[in-house]
């Protein structure tokens, strides 16, 4: 039987800093809401909105949770960047509260809880994914809630906590399979340093069963479709794995803030050495184990950020003790500089014409600029097609961002539904074979190879976002072609699998995506 005890005994947790943490959350929510309408949709948000119009238990590149949330947010709060990003803001607020709960679980008093929540909220990667809707937005929250529940499980010895852990893991799997890495790291860490009795609890298999039951619909969908999501993940790893491994350590130093590194290092030492936290020592082991897993898979450095936040939380109490002896100057300077730098890098606070500076670290800023301009250029190309031929004409885009933009902005400009062979857009096509007229092709500047599937192609317009922002679609070509080399039904498998012209895009996007926004690339 589990050696369970009352959840707040014998250690007696401090009171939760409800008022201060709530005030902090309201302040951050106000800032995010005020900025949510600047710039525009991110390419992934446009894709989520399109996927939300094709609700399913799974997609080629992701589970169903984020598209479902995107559709719900747009329906409830308005079909705009402000309405959509309410979901991201709510998730960010939940992260703030969860971090404070993590601190309390480690015995932190109210002031330390507030400091932990504030430092985590100022972190670069949390701010980046809190500003916009992405799978990483909800992944961060799921991981932190799981870490909090596991700490509660280890502190109380009450095996029943495996049930909510399993529930959260199941929900996490409905959003992103990466949560499995966290579970492997945590279980291995508990096995290594204890308390091992928690692995013998009969509630552990019950928790596993709950996780699998919640995730079952998506797992069934993926199995029924040949596990396309794993193919996409393998393609990302094979194309970018070496670069990811080389950048992993530097990214650990910058994803929260270089100025916060001493805090989470102290936190790791505290979890490892402090006798009063011996029961939580597995958290210190789980972080390096997670890093090994991510490095082995060639994953992105931001995958480990939730565990970094746990270490940051553990370091807040010793840092506050240090400030009582040496003064608060260092901490205040670190907070102010971090707030200024991370806001500039991750939030739309600068004029769009000044994005060259933050793009050096975070090119996702630029992916929120220029989508209406792309639709304007596509309208110009569409007008070049004779009116009598438009009933049989097709708009085809190279990637899901372009397709999402035309889905969003095209109808107001008289454009028909766009088609694309990229990611789940491939499942939503092809055009009917009766659409045997001209093709309006939207492609990136250097992706000319895709034109070999079409006939008599000529460029008729060019995308200019009007701000000089060098993003993925700046200078994209709008091309008219007289038709296709084969009927759409025969051509579609090639367009949906070879993704001609994506090699350059793969390389460029793989270098740019560093702040937890999704990567949806198909291996050529």
pLDDT of 240: 75
Dist. CA 446–CA 462, nearest whole Å: 12
Q: Decide if 108 is inside a domain.
A: yes
Please tell me which residue, 38 or 240, carries the higher pLDDT value: 38
Stretch 140-169: mean pLDDT: 97
| pLDDT of residue 402 exceeding 50 | yes
The two tokens of residue 9 are 């005994």
| 228 and 284 assigned to the same domain | yes
Q: Decide if 359 is inside a domain.
A: no
Q: Decide if 487 is inside a domain.
A: yes
Helix and strand numbers (H, E) in the chain are 21, 7
Residue 3 pLDDT grade (very low, low, confident, very high; cuts 50, 70, 90): very low
Q: Decide if 203 is inside a domain.
A: yes
| 323 and 179 assigned to the same domain | yes
Residue 236 pLDDT grade (very low, low, confident, very high; cuts 50, 70, 90): low
pLDDT tens, position by position, 44-70: 999 999 999 999 999 999 999 999 999
Q: Decide if 165 is inside a domain.
A: yes
Say if CB 151 and CB 314 are below 8 A apart: no
Residue 512 pLDDT grade (very low, low, confident, very high; cuts 50, 70, 90): very low
Q: Decide if 66 is inside a domain.
A: no
What is the side-by-side order of every strand in the sheet holding 439-443? 418-420, 394-397, 439-443, 477-481, 458-462
| 301 and 425 assigned to the same domain | no
Domain's final residue, options 304, 321, 349: 349
What value does the mean pLDDT of the chain take? 90
| pLDDT of residue 5 exceeding 80 | no
Residue 501 pLDDT grade (very low, low, confident, very high; cuts 50, 70, 90): very low
Dist. CA 295–CA 318, nearest whole Å: 30
- Kindly report which listed range (196-210, 333-347, 395-409, 490-504) carries the lowest average pLDDT score: 490-504
Pick from 50, 31, 121, 166: which is nearest to 429 by CA? 50
pLDDT tens, position by position, 416-428: 999 999 999 999 9
Give the chain's length.
524
| pLDDT of residue 505 exceeding 50 | no
Residue 232 pLDDT grade (very low, low, confident, very high; cuts 50, 70, 90): confident
Stretch 67-78: mean pLDDT: 97
| 180 and 316 assigned to the same domain | yes
Stretch 111-140: mean pLDDT: 97
pLDDT of 7: 56
Q: Is the peptide bond before 195 cis (omega within 30 degrees of 0)?
A: yes
Dihedral, CA of residue 179, residue 185, residue 189 and residue 192, to nearest 10: 140
* Helix, strand, coil shares, percent, the chain, to 5: 65, 5, 30
What is the SS3 assignment for 159-179?
Answer: HHHHHHHHHHHHHHHCCCCCH
Domain's final residue, options 318, 349, 380: 349
Dist. CA 328–CA 334, nearest whole Å: 10
Dist. CA 88–CA 127, nearest whole Å: 10
Task: Using DSSP bridges, classify how beta strands 394-397 and 439-443 pair: parallel, antiparallel or unpaired.
Answer: parallel
Q: Dihedral sign, CA of 117, 119, 123, 128?
A: positive
Say if CB 435 and CB 394 are below 8 A apart: yes
Say if CB 104 and CB 14 are below 8 A apart: yes
| pLDDT of residue 365 exceeding 60 | yes
Say if CB 378 and CB 410 are below 8 A apart: yes
Q: Dihedral sign, CA of 291, 292, 296, 297?
A: negative
| 236 and 378 assigned to the same domain | no
Dist. CA 441–CA 455, nearest whole Å: 11
Instruction: Give the Cα-Cα-Cα angle 6, 11, 13 (nearest 5 degrees).
Output: 85
If you compute the radius of gyration of the chain from its CA atoms, what whole number of angstroms results?
24
Stretch 370-392: mean pLDDT: 96
Residue 233 pLDDT grade (very low, low, confident, very high; cuts 50, 70, 90): confident
Dist. CA 313–CA 13, nearest whole Å: 16
Which DSSP helix (H) or strand (E) runs through 458?
strand 458-462
Stretch 86-99: mean pLDDT: 98
Percent of the chain with pLDDT strictly greater than 90: 82
Q: Decide if 360 is inside a domain.
A: no
Say if CB 202 and CB 163 are below 8 A apart: no
Pick from 383, 423, 387, 432: which is nearest to 403 by CA? 423
Stretch 494-514: mean pLDDT: 44
| pLDDT of residue 10 exceeding 50 | no
pLDDT of 8: 54
| 196 and 311 assigned to the same domain | yes
Q: Distance of alpha carbon 461 from its chain centroid, rounded?
A: 33
| pLDDT of residue 321 exceeding 50 | yes
| 421 and 333 assigned to the same domain | no
| 290 and 210 assigned to the same domain | yes
pLDDT tens, position by position, 242-274: 888 899 999 999 999 999 999 999 999 999 999
- Kindly report which listed range (66-70, 487-491, 518-522) carries the lowest average pLDDT score: 518-522
The two tokens of residue 111 are 């002031």
The two tokens of residue 127 are 């701010």
Pick from 420, 444, 441: which is nearest to 505 by CA? 444
Which DSSP helix (H) or strand (E) runs through 46?
helix 43-52
| 322 and 253 assigned to the same domain | yes
Q: Mark out the alpha helices in 347-468 (DSSP H runs).
A: 356-359, 371-383, 400-409
| 242 and 122 assigned to the same domain | yes
| 407 and 296 assigned to the same domain | no
Q: What is the DSSP track for 462-505?
A: E---SS----TTTT-EEEEESEESS-HHHHHHHHHHT-TTHHHH
pLDDT of 327: 87
Domain count, the chain: 2
pLDDT of 522: 32
| 121 and 180 assigned to the same domain | yes
Q: Decide if 501 is inside a domain.
A: yes
Name 190's bridge partners.
Answer: none
Domain's final residue, options 296, 317, 349: 349
- Kindly report which listed range (155-159, 411-415, 443-447) carries the lowest average pLDDT score: 443-447
In which domain, by residue range, is 487 found?
368-512
The two tokens of residue 214 are 């919640």
Distance (Å) of CA 373 to CA 193, 258, 276, 463:
56, 37, 59, 7
């Amino acid at each position: 039987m589990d050696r369970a005890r009352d959840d707040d005994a014998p250690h007696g947790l401090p009171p939760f800093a409800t008022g201060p943490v709530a005030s902090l959350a309201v302040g951050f929510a106000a800032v995010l809401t005020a900025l949510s309408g600047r710039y525009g949709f991110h390419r992934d948000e446009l894709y989520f909105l399109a996927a939300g119009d094709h609700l399913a238990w799974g997609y080629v590149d992701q589970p169903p949770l984020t598209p479902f949330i995107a559709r719900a947010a747009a329906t409830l709060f308005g079909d705009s960047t402000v309405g959509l990003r309410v979901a991201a803001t709510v998730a960010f607020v939940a992260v703030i509260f969860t971090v404070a709960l993590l601190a309390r679980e480690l015995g932190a008093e109210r002031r330390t809880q507030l400091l932990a929540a504030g430092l985590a909220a100022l972190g670069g990667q949390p701010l980046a994914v809190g500003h916009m809707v992405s799978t990483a937005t909800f992944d961060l929250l799921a991981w932190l809630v799981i870490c909090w529940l596991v700490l509660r499980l280890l502190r109380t010895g009450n095996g029943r906590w495996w049930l909510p852990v399993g529930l959260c893991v199941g929900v996490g799997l409905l959003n992103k399979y990466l949560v499995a890495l966290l579970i492997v790291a945590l279980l291995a860490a508990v096995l290594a340093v204890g308390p091992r009795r928690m692995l013998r609890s009969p509630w552990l298999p019950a928790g596993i069963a709950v996780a699998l039951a919640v995730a079952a619909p998506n797992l069934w969908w993926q199995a029924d479709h040949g596990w396309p999501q794993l193919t996409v993940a393998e393609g990302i790893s094979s194309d970018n794995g070496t670069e990811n491994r080389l950048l992993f350590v530097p990214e650990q130093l910058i994803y929260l803030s270089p100025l916060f590194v001493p805090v989470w290092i102290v936190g790791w030492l505290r979890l490892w050495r402090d006798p009063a936290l011996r029961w939580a020592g597995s958290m210190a082991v789980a972080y390096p184990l997670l890093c090994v897993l991510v490095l082995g898979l060639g994953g992105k450095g931001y995958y480990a950020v939730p565990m970094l936040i746990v270490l940051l939380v553990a370091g807040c109490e010793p840092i506050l003790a240090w400030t009582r002896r040496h003064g608060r100057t260092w901490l205040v300077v670190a907070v102010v500089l971090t707030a200024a730098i991370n806001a500039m890098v991750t939030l739309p606070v600068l004029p769009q014409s000044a994005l060259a500076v933050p793009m050096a670290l975070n090119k996702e800023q630029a992916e929120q600029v220029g989508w209406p301009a792309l639709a304007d250029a596509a309208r110009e190309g569409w007008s070049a097609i004779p009116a009598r031929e438009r009933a049989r004409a097709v708009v085809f885009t190279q990637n899901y961002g372009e397709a999402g933009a035309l889905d969003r902005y095209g109808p107001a400009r008289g454009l028909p539904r766009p088609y694309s062979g990229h990611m789940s857009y491939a499942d939503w096509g092809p055009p009917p074979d009766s659409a045997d007229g001209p093709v309006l092709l939207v492609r990136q500047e250097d992706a000319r190879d895709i034109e070999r599937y079409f006939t008599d192609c000529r460029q008729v317009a060019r995308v200019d976002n009007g701000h000089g922002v060098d993003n993925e679609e700046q200078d994209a070509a709008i091309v008219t072609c007289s038709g296709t080399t084969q009927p759409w039904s025969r051509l579609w498998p090639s367009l949906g699998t070879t993704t001609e012209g994506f090699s350059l895009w793969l390389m460029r996007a793989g270098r740019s995506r560093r702040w937890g926004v999704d990567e949806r690339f198909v291996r050529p």
